Structure 1
Amino acid sequence: MSGVIYLQPGREKSLKRKHPWIFSKAIKKVKGNPGLGDTVSVYDADGKFLAIAAYSPQSQIRARVWSFDENTIVDTDFFYNRLKQALSLRDYVIEEGGLTGFRLCAAESDRLPGITIDKFDNYLVCQLLSAGAERHKGELVQALIRLFPGFNVYERSDVDVRKKEGLEPITGVLHGSAPTEPVKIVENGLALEVDILGGHKTGFYLDQRDSRNALSRFSKGKTVLNCFSYTGTFSLYALKAGCEKVTNVDVSESALAIAKRNVEHNNLDLSKVDFIKQDVFKLLREYRENGVKFDTIVMDPPKFADSKAQLTGACRGYKDINMIAMQILKPGGTLLTFSCSGLMEQNLFQKVVADAALDAGRELRIMERLNQAPDHPIAGEYPEGFYLKGLICKVL
């Protein structure tokens, strides 16, 4: 171990409940001179062992727990065993959906803090957000090579949150080679193109798989508006279900180009799809002014709140965009609306959508709740892992 952490009296309660974070204010003293990502032992104020953790001297989350077993050694075997368990938990999801793309590791929810890994065909795309993950990158890659022989490993740690850990954004090949042509995965019988090198996050939103499936039930013979469409996967489910027309709206020209190719990859009717490069807020207002109406609307915006200070503004944003969406829905139409902001709790999101209905002058019936797909599990001791909230609403 590179050092030892002693907690303030009474600040061990969360660790005894197996929560993996230790905040800076909970620490009484640090012995030794642990550096960025070094492994430390954690003790309570009375000197009783609590955990083995990765130290991050610049972050408010000063340490993230690797294990609550003091005999743990954080090495290649450690990562291999954790990843092997994570894979086995997902077996039924992979088999049921015929998936060649899925989330292999969901960071703290799979007891590997700061480590997100998505599998896309024969590529493993890693996003490393913590000092400990960065410190043990080599061992992690070796574990992945052992678990998936012959696969390529690519890093997409190009996110600003790394700066809170004293880390710079970084991308690149960790093993094998970078893709020279579009990577494709299969999801519920649909072929999907994934932009590993330049797409959002790791290249694709695997967490919305179940929500995309849900859209199928509200698409046959319907006009569908897919807002913040990215690479258009929701629209593929609508087309497959027999929609009359689906409109994809996004500000990214490259994402819309992939959306068009995805329609072609699946031999679906391109004449039933529109691709519009425009700001969603602006286009919705234009639709409202021109009296354009839809049967079904998918509202899947990017994260509006990264911190508690931004939550009030995020609520206004969610309220405004859902209000306009309801105003352009036909009576009895269906709204599938989402928030991927972890700080936006389920009940708060539901209240925001209900307030939007009042302002829109429409009656709202929440028919179902949607959440992240099961390859994005939520550890019982880590409620922060529950981030994606969705509602299927009938708007009268």
Structure 2
Amino acid sequence: MTKTIDLQVNARNIADFKKGYPLILKDAIINSDVLTTEGTIVRLLDKNRQFVAKGYYGIQNKGIGWVLTRREEVEIDFDFFESRIAAAFERREELFENPNTTAFRVFNGEGDGIGGLTIDYYDGFFLVSWYSEGIYSMKHHVYSVFDKIIEYEGIYEKLRFDTKGQYIEQDDFVKGEQGDFPIIVRENGMKFAVNLNDGAMTGIFLDQRDMRKVVRDNYSEGKNVLNTFSYTGAFSVAAMLGGAKKTTSVDLAQRSLAKTIEQFSVNGIDYEQQDIKVMDVFDYFRYAKRHELKFDLVILDPPSFARSKKYTFSSAKDYPALLMDAIAITEKNGVIVASTNNASFGMKKFKTFIEEAFNEAGSRYKILEESTLPRDFRTNRDYPEFNYLKVVVIRKTK
């Protein structure tokens, strides 16, 4: 039986836990020094030893664990995992029945009741991501649920946590049939090649599904498009399928060239008619200014943090400067899709970055629309900090 330890909650944090705040922060616990083994079940108690919540110990980003239930009688066992996972799959029933979209998230961590665990679906295959040693210690429950209630071709996993400063290396394949990768999935009718056994990335970021559709349907026809931090060129594919005149995809990673060619090819797009640049985005901005290049649509979707030989980029402090670079090469009445996945600030703060950049550039703008995570990336609306994705579509009016 899994060991259980009692933790005393600071008085100032009790109300948050009772309202449903899911992340256990170290500062919220008075006796956190008693925690030694990740995966330990913890009972959160007030100073009078009255029950507050139950969860597990697992170090992830800012937290030391996650609340799993506010009912004292609930056991964290197979039945618990089965009920949470079954409910999550039922919520995505409409997506499972949609032949035009065959890749999406079916379990989104704390949004579906188990922080530190995500499960993504790729046309018959599942990818399970574990974000702490603590939740990974309970993997037998999760995989037993698959065997009992879920039909699958194959299951792969990614371990997204460190232990003693070292990333745990493990074969990605878990059970079922091994995939013949890349497999081709559909997203709103678009095709994308994905690999579940080729490092941390799969070839597509599922959280941008809604925005790729928006770019294809509303902003691409006849446009000259620049896709920065382009990864495998998914936004470029969306733009071309939306009738773009031409795309330029820019990413520093060497593998982005072959991966972008692959994504164009599976959609029947002649990649030789597109520009695919393997170079630092900041160097490309300077190149574009020097050659007086202008674009009708610019996609800005940088990582939260990135480092190259010449630059260090943090979206929390450098996004305004990045946006100024984009403004300089955007045509008048052109559109910028500004996106960030940095969870350390919200949409309100992100909009101040946009205002700052346009003011500094001596330009004007109009916000056309904004969005956050798609519905399958379920979050608690009371705690918007867990809804990390922020996308704002901006028209440059001057």
Measure the CA separation in 2 of the matches of 1:372 and 1:57: 24
Deviation of 1:345 (Å): 1.4
What is the letter of the counterpart of residue 147 of structure 1? I
Q: Is the Cα contact below 8 Å between 1:340 and 1:389 reproduced in 2?
A: yes
Does the residue aligned with 1:391 lie in a helix, a strand or coil? strand
* Deviation by residue 1:107-131 (Cα, 9 ceiling, x = unmatched): 1111111001111122211211124
**Structure 2, gaps ≥5 residues long:** 307-312
Identify the residue that residue 39 of structure 1 maps to in structure 2: 41
Q: Is the Cα contact below 8 Å between 1:22 and 1:63 reproduced in 2?
A: yes
* Deviation by residue 1:282-334 (Cα, 9 ceiling, x = unmatched): 101110111011111111111139xxxxxx95344211111111110111101
Identify the residue that residue 103 of structure 2 maps to in structure 1: 101
Deviation of 1:30 (Å): 6.8
Single out whichever of 380-389 and 102-111 deviates more from structure 2. 380-389
Alpha carbon RMSD of aligned pairs, Å? 2.6
Q: Is the Cα contact below 8 Å between 1:4 and 1:31 reproduced in 2?
A: no
Cα 1:103–1:171, aligned 2, differ >3 Å: closer, same or farther?
A: farther
What is the letter of the counterpart of residue 144 of structure 1? F
* Deviation by residue 1:145-189 (Cα, 9 ceiling, x = unmatched): 3332343221111x4x5448x884344222235434212211111
Identify the residue that residue 197 of structure 1 maps to in structure 2: 197
Cα 1:271–1:137, aligned 2, differ >3 Å: closer, same or farther?
A: same
Identify the residue that residue 120 of structure 2 maps to in structure 1: 118
Does the residue aligned with 2:305 lie in a helix, a strand or coil? coil
Instruction: State yes or no: 1:257 paired with 2:262.
Output: no
What is the letter of the counterpart of residue 79 of structure 1? F
Q: Is the Cα contact below 8 Å between 1:99 and 1:186 reproduced in 2?
A: yes
What is the letter of the counterpart of residue 61 of structure 1? G
TM-score normalised to the size of structure 2?
A: 0.89
Deviation of 1:233 (Å): 1.2
Give 1:328-339 correspondences, 5 Å limit: 328-339=329-340
Cα 1:51–1:316, aligned 2, differ >3 Å: closer, same or farther?
A: closer
Deviation of 1:77 (Å): 2.5
**Structure 1, gaps ≥5 residues long:** 306-311
Q: Is the Cα contact below 8 Å between 2:42 and 2:56 reproduced in 1?
A: yes
Identify the residue that residue 310 of structure 2 maps to in structure 1: none
Measure the CA separation in 2 of the matches of 1:59 and 1:248: 31
Identify the residue that residue 66 of structure 2 maps to in structure 1: 64
What is the letter of the counterpart of residue 143 of structure 1? V
- Kindly tell me the number of residue pairs found equivalent between the two proteins: 388
Cα 1:356–1:74, aligned 2, differ >3 Å: closer, same or farther?
A: same
Q: Is the Cα contact below 8 Å between 2:345 and 2:385 reproduced in 1?
A: no
Fraction of identical pairs, as percent? 28
Does the residue aligned with 2:192 lie in a helix, a strand or coil? strand
Single out whichever of 320-329 and 81-90 deviates more from structure 2. 81-90
Q: Is the Cα contact below 8 Å between 1:156 and 1:201 reproduced in 2?
A: no
Single out whichever of 123-132 and 239-248 deviates more from structure 2. 123-132
Give 1:373-384 correspondences, 5 Å limit: 373-384=374-385
Cα 1:195–1:378, aligned 2, differ >3 Å: closer, same or farther?
A: same
Deviation of 1:253 (Å): 3.0
Measure the CA separation in 1 of the matches of 2:299 and 2:72: 48
Identify the residue that residue 48 of structure 1 maps to in structure 2: 50
TM-score normalised to the size of structure 1?
A: 0.90
Instruction: State yes or no: 1:348 paired with 2:349.
Output: yes
Cα 1:323–1:24, aligned 2, differ >3 Å: closer, same or farther?
A: same
What is the letter of the counterpart of residue 92 of structure 1? E
Deviation of 1:234 (Å): 1.0
Identify the residue that residue 90 of structure 1 maps to in structure 2: 92
Q: Is the Cα contact below 8 Å between 2:302 and 2:339 reproduced in 1?
A: yes
